[in-house]
Amino acid sequence: MNYSALVLDIEGTVCPISFVKDALFPYFVEKVPVIVQNIEQQSKVIRDIISQFNIDDKDALTKHILDLVAADIKDPILKQLQGYIWAEGYSSGEIKAPVYPDAVALIRRHDNVYIYSSGSVKAQKLLFGHVADSDGKSINMNGEIKGYFDINTSGAKVDASSYTNILKDIKMEKTPEKVLFLSDNPKELDAAKKAGLITGLAIRDGNAPVPNIDEYISYKDYSTL
């Protein structure tokens, strides 16, 4: 079937679900002690973010930040700090996003590709701006993606109304059956289906097993899309 637009999830769909846990978080945890201990040498942006924790003792501050990460606390100051540190990591080439080669090919094959992730639009653009190439370099794919959506722009990914919002934004509310949404999360697929979209379940190494997998159209690769 020919789709007029594709909406893609990120983790577990276009790149390994382990990327955040095994690459981004460890990178942040490694950098925090060095940054805090040398706070005077950091950029004004980093200093201003860290000052919001209101902890003067450097050891106590380091422990507080790392404790937030370990407990997976959705602290807004922490998220802001992570965003800037990851941005520096991407810029320096220390971080590259391992987007699946067939996902890269899929994005390049289609004109109307959109991204919808629980991660911020800023984080999405960072990721697609630094995609690992086969030669070890990074490539910028942002110019090949039509638009980005997150929970702030569109709503929670398990709510059908979020997909209705996206359809309106991409001017396809009258033809939702021409939009394909790919994700590894059945709850997200169910919500998108309620909004009228066609859905596909991403099957990738490391993804959680889906008990009722036969209820979904599954894709182990995207060569046929």
What separation in angstroms does the CA of 125 have from each of 18, 73, 96, 122, 143?
19, 23, 12, 5, 10
Is 51 annotated to bind ligand? no
Is 9 annotated to bind ligand? yes
Is 11 annotated to bind ligand? yes
Please give the single-letter amino acid code of residue 166. I
Nearest to 189 by CA among 163, 165, 166, 207: 163
CA dihedral defined by 163, 164, 166, 168, rounded to 10 degrees? 170
Is 184 annotated to bind ligand? yes
Tokens representing 118 are 């629980």
Which residues, 6+ apart, have CB-to-CB distance to 133 below 8 Å?
139
Cβ atoms within 10 Å, residue 214: 7
Annotated binding-site residue numbers for Mg(2+): 9, 11, 184
Annotated binding-site residue numbers for substrate: 117-118, 157
Annotated binding-site residue numbers: 9, 11, 117-118, 157, 184
